[in-house]
Amino acid sequence: MKELNQLKLGNKKYIIFDMDGTLINSIGVWNRTDQKLIEEYGGISMNLDDIQSERDTFLHSNQDSDIYLAYSKYLIEKYNFSMQSAEELLKIRRAKSGEVLEKEMDFKPDVVKLVLRLKELGFTLILATMTTQVQLDIYSKKNKRMLEQMNILEVFDLIIRKEDVKNKKPDPEIYNKIMQYYNAIPKECLIFEDSYTGVLASHKAGIECVNIYDKYADLDRDKINQLADYKIMEYKEFIDFVNTLYPAKQKMHNGKDMKNEK
């Protein structure tokens, strides 16, 4: 792993952000949702860490086209749920999480400042997420807390969602799709990811990756550290790095106005 000051940010044109766990603090929401489902329909009480570990193991080892439908089927079979339909459980899972996503979900600390700073500097910003359009609609249209800070539909130049790809991370399809869209090469891109699957996907795509710490990825911390190019504990570290390269008064990222570009 390299030191952050070794990153040649001036060579980058496209800055890509994952969403869950990277742009927003969302992983805990799904842990609490699954905990409620297992207790209500399976009659079993489980702690959140075990739920996180179990779901991660399932998501890492399955390549189903609709992974969340497959996971719903897995919950039904593993915990002998009182319902038999994975489709029904998936709808219930989304409904239970919906209110939390709308009223409690928030951006990770300082990420909005970083995104807006990068936008100001003229970088092309992309959101690459396995989040569904339904969830994106909640974040961009219903969540007042998030909307007061930033509207992702207005700030990001391109959004690639779960519906836009066939293969989930760690398959690099989502990142290859972005490069194809912009006719870009890996060295022009930089990815922010929190999870091992995301870091692995960026590695397979040949794109440098900054790992932003998220406590829910601690079980994979050693593997993440082996693959990530850079790591930060919080976004303020990267904001400070950017401001060191580009003082606040500088303008567009075009190689001319940014006199201190390195």
Q: Rounded to an integer, what distance in angstroms lies between the CA atom of residue 32 and that of residue 100?
A: 10
Q: Residue 7 in 3-state DSSP?
A: coil
Query: Inter-axis angle of helices 196-205 and 173-182, to 10 degrees?
Result: 50
- pLDDT tens, residue by residue, 56-73: 788 777 766 678 888 899
- pLDDT tens, residue by residue, 185-195: 999 999 999 99
241 has a pLDDT exceeding 80: yes
Q: Rounded to an integer, what distance in angstroms lies between the CA atom of residue 212 and that of residue 17?
A: 10
- pLDDT tens, residue by residue, 11-63: 999 999 999 999 998 877 788 888 889 999 999 999 888 888 888 788 777 76
Per DSSP, 24 falls in state: B
Please name the residue that has the structure tokens 């193991």: 57
This prediction's pTM = 0.81
What is the helix, strand, coil percentage profile of the chain, to 5?
55, 10, 35
Q: Which element (helix H / strand E) includes 115?
A: helix 111-120
Residue 1 identity (one-letter amino acid): M
